[in-house]
């Protein structure tokens, strides 16, 4: 049984360099040239790993994600980059663990956006674009404000659609979204609890269109969905499936959070609606004849949220299983995530692995799949040998997290927390 060391000291622990952090990683059976796959990386927001049926969840229906797992590989010891959004996504985009990554918390800038990553940051999107991939991102960015050098279109994405700012993403009926640097006003929405245009559905439509437009290209599609992050909002056609299914005391809102009369039903309906989007994406890939040329990955940006942060009842849904901690806490429940990968003809169906892996492994993995250059100054290890069942899989000597406290999510932990597995 592995040991979990939680350090609550105010000083940084000494971190040994990753033993392969300077290496370009390739194995004999890695795809090259025209064999390079399209890559779709779907990232849920605050989804608990055990919310999914394929990880043992029983309350929420997730048939499309469960099918991905049945047709591919499921990681049972996968971890986010951090316990909250921005630092976790920074690790994902850069291949660096939290001790080396630039973003360490959810610090905001005004009037809109998060503290920006540097202009010269090496991101997955920049590397794949340089290797000939069309690149698109739809959903929530959170790594730099609109119009800055940290905006997605200046960090390697040809197209961005969605929320630039995490706080703006606290409503699924916003008055506007961003398409690249253009602000798109959404008629019929006033920023309240309901509206005419549900942002997740708009993001899904953009993603499907991107796949259609780039069916002849190698493409990288990054889908950081906002579901099931607060607010609890979902159209009635999804909500109806769960209303009345359980005792469901109202969530009163407050502290800037939207109330909801049936919060458990809303949370479950949001997850199932996201699952529907995953199914539609997979179905389109099949319809276009891209199935054997496309790898689809699915994960979540951190652990599930506590009840008083938006009304998600993670205890009721057992979203973190039996693990200690939730979002915002550097206990295992705050950083354990699902990780599923599907690639017909390449990844053996219905397989699982207990290989410990974290978000900083995504960059070298996708670079190897795309036959793109892997940068030297990273902490990640490619897991392609595990995905394909071929080659020698290197393993981490340790996994490391650190975070500066920036919100009330830090319950029972100091303002600076460090964790080593």
Distance CA 330, CA 77 (A): 15
Q: What SS3 string covers the chain?
A: CCCCEEECCCCCCCCCCCCCCCCCCCCCCCCCHHHCCEEEEEEECCCCHHHCHHHCCCCCCCHHHHHHHHCCEEEEEEECCCCCHHHHHHHHHHCCCCCCCCCCCCCECCCCCECCCCCCCCCHHHHHHHCCCEEEEEEECCCCCCCCCCCHHHCCCCEEEEECCCCHHHCCCCCEEEECCEEEECCCCCCCCCCCCCHHHHHHHHHHHHHHHCCCCCEEEEEECCCCCCCCCCCHHHHCCCCCCCCCCCECCECCECCECCHHHHHHHHHHHHHHHHHHHHHHHHHCCCHHHEEEEEEECCCCCCCCCCCCCHHHHCCCCCCCCCCCCCCHHHHEEEEEEECCCCCCCCEEECCCEEHHHHHHHHHHHCCCCCCCCCCCCCCHHHHHCCCCCCCCCCCEEEEECCCCCCCCCCCEEEEEC
pLDDT of residue 25: 39
Whether 18 is covered by a domain: the verdict is no
Whether 34 is covered by a domain: the verdict is yes
Q: What is the mean pLDDT of each run of 10 residues along the chain (421 residues)?
A: 36 32 39 77 98 98 98 98 97 98 95 97 98 98 98 98 97 98 97 95 98 97 98 98 98 91 98 98 98 98 94 97 96 98 98 98 98 96 98 96 65 61 74
Whether 329 is covered by a domain: the verdict is yes
Q: In the structure encoding, which two tokens stand for residue 336, read together?
A: 């354990």
Over the stretch 41-76, which tens digit does the pLDDT of each residue have? 999 999 999 999 999 999 999 999 999 999 999 999
Pairing verdict, β 134-140 and 159-163: parallel
Whether 20 is covered by a domain: the verdict is no
Find the domain containing 76 and state its range: 5-11+25-420
| Full-model pTM | 0.92
Q: In the structure encoding, which two tokens stand for residue 302, read together?
A: 């951190």
Q: Is 289 left (phi over 0), alpha (psi -120 to 50) or beta?
A: left
pLDDT of residue 31: 54
Distance of CA 90 to the CA centre of its chain: 11
The residues, ordered by sequence, that sit 6+ positions from 309 with a Cβ below 8 Å of its Cβ are 230, 257, 327, 328, 408, 409
Distance CA 47, CA 271 (A): 8
Q: In the structure encoding, which two tokens stand for residue 144, read together?
A: 């730099």
pLDDT of residue 415: 53
Distance CA 313, CA 246 (A): 12
Over the stretch 338-365, which tens digit does the pLDDT of each residue have? 999 999 999 999 999 999 999 999 999 9
pLDDT of residue 66: 98
Distance CA 393, CA 404 (A): 32
Whether 351 is covered by a domain: the verdict is yes
Distance CA 271, CA 274 (A): 5
Whether 19 is covered by a domain: the verdict is no
Distance CA 214, CA 291 (A): 14
Nearest to 262 by CA among 273, 246, 274: 246
Nearest to 89 by CA among 165, 14, 200: 165
Distance CA 342, CA 204 (A): 19
pLDDT of residue 22: 35
Over the stretch 236-270, which tens digit does the pLDDT of each residue have? 999 999 999 999 999 999 888 899 999 999 999 99
Domain count for the chain: 1
User: How many residues are present in the chain?
Assistant: 421
Distance CA 304, CA 71 (A): 25
Whether 17 is covered by a domain: the verdict is no
pLDDT of residue 414: 46
Task: Residue 87: give its domain's CATH number.
Answer: 3.40.720.10
Whether 16 is covered by a domain: the verdict is no
The residues, ordered by sequence, that sit 6+ positions from 1 with a Cβ below 8 Å of its Cβ are none
């Amino acid at each position: 049984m592995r040991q979990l060391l939680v350090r609550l000291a105010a000083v940084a622990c000494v971190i040994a360099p990753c033993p392969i952090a300077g290496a370009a990683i390739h194995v004999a059976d890695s795809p090259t040239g025209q064999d390079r796959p399209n890559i779709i990386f779907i990232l849920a927001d605050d989804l608990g790993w055990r919310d999914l049926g394929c990880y043992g969840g029983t309350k929420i229906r997730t048939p499309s994600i469960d099918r991905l797992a049945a047709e591919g590989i499921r990681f049972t010891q996968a971890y986010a980059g951090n316990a909250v959004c921005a630092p976790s996504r920074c690790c994902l985009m850069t291949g660096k663990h939290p001790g080396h990554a630039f973003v360490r918390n959810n610090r905001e800038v005004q009037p809109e956006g998060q503290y920006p990553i540097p202009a010269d940051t090496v991101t997955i999107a920049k590397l794949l674009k340089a290797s000939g991939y069309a690149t698109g991102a739809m959903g929530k960015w959170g790594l730099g404000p609109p119009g800055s050098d940290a905006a997605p279109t200046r960090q390697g994405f040809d197209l961005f659609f969605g929320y630039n700012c995490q706080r703006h993403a606290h409503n699924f009926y916003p008055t506007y979204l961003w398409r690249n640097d253009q602000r798109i006003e959404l008629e019929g929405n006033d920023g309240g609890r309901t509206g005419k245009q549900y942002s997740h559905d708009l993001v899904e439509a953009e993603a499907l269109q991107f796949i259609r437009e780039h069916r002849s290209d190698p493409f990288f599609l990054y889908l950081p969905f906002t579901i099931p992050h607060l607010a609890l909002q979902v159209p009635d056609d999804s909500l109806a499936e769960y209303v009345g299914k359980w005792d469901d005391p109202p969530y009163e809102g407050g502290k800037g959070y939207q109330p909801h009369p049936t919060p458990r039903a809303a949370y479950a309906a949001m997850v199932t609606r996201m699952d529907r989007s995953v199914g539609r994406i997979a179905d389109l890939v099949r319809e276009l004849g891209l199935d054997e040329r496309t790898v689809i990955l699915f994960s979540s940006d951190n652990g599930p949220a506590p009840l008083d942060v938006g009304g998600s009842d993670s205890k009721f849904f057992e979203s973190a299983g039996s693990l200690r901690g939730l979002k915002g806490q550097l206990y295992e429940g705050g950083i354990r995530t699902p990780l599923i990968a599907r690639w017909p003809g390449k990844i053996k169906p219905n397989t699982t692995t207990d290989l410990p892996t974290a978000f900083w492994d995504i960059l070298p993995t996708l670079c190897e799949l795309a036959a793109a250059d892997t940068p030297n100054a990273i902490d990640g290890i490619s897991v392609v040998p595990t995905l394909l069942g071929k080659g020698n899989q290197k393993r981490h000597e340790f996994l490391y997290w650190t975070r500066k406290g920036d919100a009330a999510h830090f319950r029972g932990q100091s303002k600076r927390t460090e964790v080593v597995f």
